Chain A
């Protein structure tokens, strides 16, 4: 089977879904003729024209607001924020309407749409192109937040997001877009379920997005001189969080490290630690550690790599937790 990268996996999925379901459309800045600035929507305009592959005006609030209407009206919009750094213009439509329509109407109306957005650092970009703000969206009840980490899970998760009855923020780690390929065999992924990518006994390691790769490499680095049995969890859905998978794992291992690309405070790592505190505190043999960025404005790329969690930091955090 041919190996594909994450962009190809997402692109193939969109082609497939749009062919099978004529209510699905894509809309966003430069998603049509140009195929998206990362080419995730390449070829859809050629197939479906401007009716279902809409190059929108530059107005993120308008994009989401219009998509909310489309969704209530029976379409399934898959909209793109060109970069997550430009999604804040749509936040009032997300918090004020997309997330609340179901509750506000006591289930009479729902808003099944997907907001795709590349996010994250490590690509030497300009300002606003490197942040990880999954917590922003996850802090909104009624919104699901999904983050794939590989060509294998990106496609099925996008498909699940499009089929989901609720608004899904689908954050694509752009550092992983083309950095590696996999031969993708069909596999089911469910929104709201984390994946145990490797089971083990000694320590639970949780991560998501681009940090997943670094985490796997860090584990390899440790294994080159230390024998240990890690259980590695890819979170995949930030919200609603799969507490059970994490808690069960920690009950078994008694140790846990969480690796988060975003700033330290108020993010999913804090939430995971709180869940462990609630449900598995008595099983812990060491304090739960988190490896994160700092609570500073994401630095431009001259300093960026000093600030993002490094493999060295991950290695040290795992070792310290094992040795505690």
Chain B
């Protein structure tokens, strides 16, 4: 036969919690009560901090801000599914994930008020700073995963997250290809929130799913309900286990929705309808998870009230500290141009400091 079928491929989708909070018990991940509560609290913190930062931005107290409300289940469970010793290589729309990795509330405020100092993660030196150049962080995750293998860390994996729009970049394709070819223990977690600024997913790719792109690179691929915290946890956990066992990389497409604007500079009414947004409100990941926890008898209204009060007071404290103002070293950028001193940079630092003084004198 001149025309043979030489391959057939399929793509799976995982969902565990339905919109009423009912779980498919066969698929339930192995999570303790404490872990479930920690995850729920982290998602709630993400939501509340996001709202507070948006509020501060609207008052002119923060700069341009990406918001992540509605996507909490697409990133928070992923952090629970990996270890602190694994690498986390994020994008910019995963506040809750970063907080779970040890970023402080204060640093989140600092970064979005224009201080590089906010990029420093005091607790985890395996978390890279935010990455704004779309897709550019994916190859880094591959390299980190490869490095940990070569350094003899048999157990370390790298997790990277990015949006649906970023899958159009060459870096996405090159990273998946490198991961496959180098057999790197890396997990690519796509936050398919349906839009890249105004551009809908259908304009990015003619593929029906993003998950299926894994097939072309010979790596594992799966789609999950990205508003289902348990499904995302399970998919990332399985991918991490596989990677630790030397079974290679995975692409996970978490299907979710960006409930608010792209950033505070964006006006979504120009490109999408209120009805579309409303249809996703019913799928809210936090509400759904709470319903599940309540059904299981491990959450109730009193605990909710107490949690919200605690988070609010933590956020209040961080905002207060932030509003008191921070001392910054004006010439810090000169400290970090190179790792070794260069005379021309030091000459410029001197000029900079002299100019700064003149500005102060002359106004």
Of the residues A35, A300, A304, contact of B270 by C-beta under 8 Å: A35
B266: chain A residues at CB < 8 Å are: 37
A34: chain B residues at CB < 8 Å are: 197-199, 270-271
Determine whether the beta carbon of A313 is less than 8 Å from that of B355.
yes
A128: chain B residues at CB < 8 Å are: 132-133
Determine whether the beta carbon of A55 is less than 8 Å from that of B169.
no
**Which positions 284-324 of chain A face chain B at CB distance < 8 Å?**
294-297, 299-304, 306-307, 310, 312-313, 316
- List 5 A-B pairs, minimum CB-CB distance, nearest first: A34-B198, A57-B168, A302-B114, A301-B114, A296-B333
A-B pairs with beta carbons under 8 Å apart, 25 shown: A30-B199, A33-B271, A35-B270, A37-B266, A55-B199, A57-B165, A57-B205, A58-B204, A59-B169, A61-B170, A89-B171, A126-B63, A126-B92, A127-B132, A264-B348, A265-B344, A294-B352, A295-B345, A296-B337, A300-B111, A303-B332, A310-B355, A312-B359, A312-B362, A313-B359
A77 to B337, CA, bound (A): 38
**Which positions 133-177 of chain B face chain A at CB distance < 8 Å?**
133-135, 165-166, 168-171
A180 within 8 A of B: no
Interface residues on A, range: 35 or more
A264: chain B residues at CB < 8 Å are: 348
A304 to B355, CA, bound (A): 14
Of the residues B130, B165, B328, B334, contact of A58 by C-beta under 8 Å: B165
Of the residues B116, B135, B166, contact of A300 by C-beta under 8 Å: B116
A127 to B270, CA, bound (A): 25
B330 within 8 A of A: yes
Number of interface residues of B (CB under 8 A): 50
A124-139, CB under 8 A of B: which get 1 and which 0?
1111100000000000
Q: Is the interface of A mostly helix, strand, loop or mixed?
A: loop
Determine whether the beta carbon of A307 is less than 8 Å from that of B352.
yes
B356 within 8 A of A: yes
Determine whether the beta carbon of A304 is less than 8 Å from that of B114.
yes
Of the residues B132, B134, B328, contact of A303 by C-beta under 8 Å: B328
**Which positions 180-213 of chain B face chain A at CB distance < 8 Å?**
196-199, 203-205
B78-108, CB under 8 A of A: which get 1 and which 0?
0000000000000010000000000000000
A57: chain B residues at CB < 8 Å are: 165, 168, 199, 203-205
A304: chain B residues at CB < 8 Å are: 114
Given A58-B134, A124-B63; A302-B113 close (CB under 8 Å): yes
Determine whether the beta carbon of B336 is less than 8 Å from that of A58.
no
Query: Shortest beta-carbon distance, B332 to chain A, in Å?
Result: 8
Determine whether the beta carbon of A295 is less than 8 Å from that of B199.
no
Determine whether the beta carbon of A125 is less than 8 Å from that of B355.
no
Identify the interface centre among A55, A61, A304: most chain B CB within 10 Å of its CB.
Answer: A55
A86 within 8 A of B: yes
